[in-house]
A and B are shown apart, each in its own frame.
Chain A
Amino acid sequence: MMTDPRRAALYSSILTTTTSLVFFLTGVMALPVPLYLPLDHRWSFGTVAGEPSLSMDYFGRSLIALGIAGIVTGLVALAAGFWNRHGRTTKPEPGTRALRLGLAYAVTAFVLCASLFAYKLYGREAVLTDLPSDPLP
């Protein structure tokens, strides 16, 4: 665990911002993601539109967003540690401006992402799944 609250705050902002941005991208672009096909009991990689069977992209989108955010935050933390150890900066801790910017980016990205999915899902028309036969005669 980190001992400096400023670094913790900055990394938290980076994690939140990156997760929201990547998740936002998966919502506006047809990115290939891991898909789970519950009726076939198997995984595939691609887009929902490319799968003829009922498919679920939520797991894939979540894993990609959280995974990329974790990697980015880890790389930033590693880079900051490397620079501090080698004395290449005279100001090892993030300043007030950086913290405010990080918080502003995090809030903006989160609100933007939540708004996108609220907009996309509001009034979405259901696509009836082609199951063995219609349950209603």
Chain B
Amino acid sequence: MPARQTHATDGECIPRPIDIIRDTDAVRDTDTTQNNGKRGALTNWRYSPEVPSVFLQSWGSLLVVVHSLSAIVLCGASVHQALLAVQLVRQRPVRSGLLRIYGWTTLLAYLSTVMAGALLYPRYRVVIRALFLDRHAPWAANLFDFKENLATIGLPLAIGALLIAQPLSTIGLSTPTTSDEVLNSRSNAAASQSSLRVVIWTYGVMTVGTALVCLTNVVAGLLCTAVRGA
């Protein structure tokens, strides 16, 4: 952007400071045009006054950070929870308090991630997908949509894992015995050994499913982001 010139009263031409303005010219992508010195159409169009603003567009960066931090917590908690469930399925002792802690942490982090992602979604749909991904990397747009759909159907798994973890943590799984022995020691008529084994398997499926959904979504999200660093 050339510096503007202004005329002083004595007729001498002195330079004014360069005005910082947003370049709204449509230019070709730097991948296809050599040495144009600009980042390309996405950068220009993201700030173009011709594109209508979308919901929370200016909060995008902050929401991306919240979304990412929540996803990091979610991955850690869900994988730990899944490992606990595998221990239970293998009839190894676990600390029952951890069942509740990881259950709550996973669900809260899941909700936080989904909420931040939902708030980001209008901005993504217009600024990222419509203006760039649909034109240059449609596979990434498809992968992103799959990730979103997977997150929705994975939410009941996280809720179910917490629902099961609460009562499971109260039946004495923390004692250093196998869960079969624990179950046998319960004289409660309603607590049959076989049905509780199925409960533990259900818990295992819910927790491992939650962890797989989270890991898949993190990989998909990173791949989509890596397309343009958007």
**Residue ranges of A at the interface with B (Cβ–Cβ < 8 Å):** 1-6, 8-9, 11-13, 15-16, 19-20, 23, 27, 36, 38-39, 41, 54, 56, 58-59, 61-62, 65-66, 69, 92-96, 99-100, 102-103, 106-107, 110, 113-114, 117-118, 121-129, 131-137
User: Are A4 and B163 in contact (CB-based, < 8 A)?
Assistant: no
Query: 11 additional contacts, CB 8 Å, given A38-B54, A96-B198, A124-B142?
Result: A2-B166, A4-B167, A6-B196, A12-B163, A12-B206, A16-B160, A66-B156, A99-B195, A114-B149, A117-B146, A137-B28
User: Are B44 and A135 in contact (CB-based, < 8 A)?
Assistant: yes
Q: Cβ of B177 < 8 Å from any Cβ of A?
A: no
Q: A107-B205, A110-B209, A113-B153 in contact; A5/B121 too (CB < 8 A)?
A: no
* Partner pick for B50 among A12, A96, A133, CB 8 A cutoff: A133
The size of the chain B interface, using a CB distance under 8 A, is: 61
Q: Cβ of B84 < 8 Å from any Cβ of A?
A: no
Instruction: Write out the residue numbers on chain B whose beta carbons fall within 8 Å of the beta carbon of A41.
Output: 54-55
Q: Which residues of chain B from 1 to 60 have any CB-CB distance to chain A below 8 Å in the complex?
A: 26-29, 41-42, 44-45, 48, 50-52, 54-55
Instruction: Write out the residue numbers on chain A whose beta carbons fall within 8 Å of the beta carbon of B176.
Output: none
The residue on B at minimum CB distance from A102 is: B202
Q: Cβ of B155 < 8 Å from any Cβ of A?
A: yes
Give, as a whole number of angstroms, the nearest-CB distance from A93 to chain B: 5
User: Are B134 and A8 in contact (CB-based, < 8 A)?
Assistant: no
Q: Which DSSP category, helix, strand, loop or mixed, fits chain B's interface?
A: helix
Instruction: Write out the residue numbers on chain B whose beta carbons fall within 8 Å of the beta carbon of A118.
Output: 146
Instruction: Write out the residue numbers on chain B whose beta carbons fall within 8 Å of the beta carbon of A38.
Output: 54-55, 122, 125-126
Q: A1-B166, A126-B134 in contact; A96/B201 too (CB < 8 A)?
A: no
* Partner pick for B134 among A66, A107, A128, CB 8 A cutoff: A128
User: Are B159 and A12 in contact (CB-based, < 8 A)?
Assistant: yes
**Roughly how many angstroms separate A66 CA and B198 CA in the complex, as a whole number?**
25
Give, as a whole number of angstroms, the nearest-CB distance from B23 to chain A: 13
Q: A9-B164, A66-B155 in contact; A4/B150 too (CB < 8 A)?
A: no
**Roughly how many angstroms separate A55 CA and B163 CA in the complex, as a whole number?**
35
The listed residue with most B CB atoms (<10 A of its CB), out of A5, A11, A39, A103, is A5
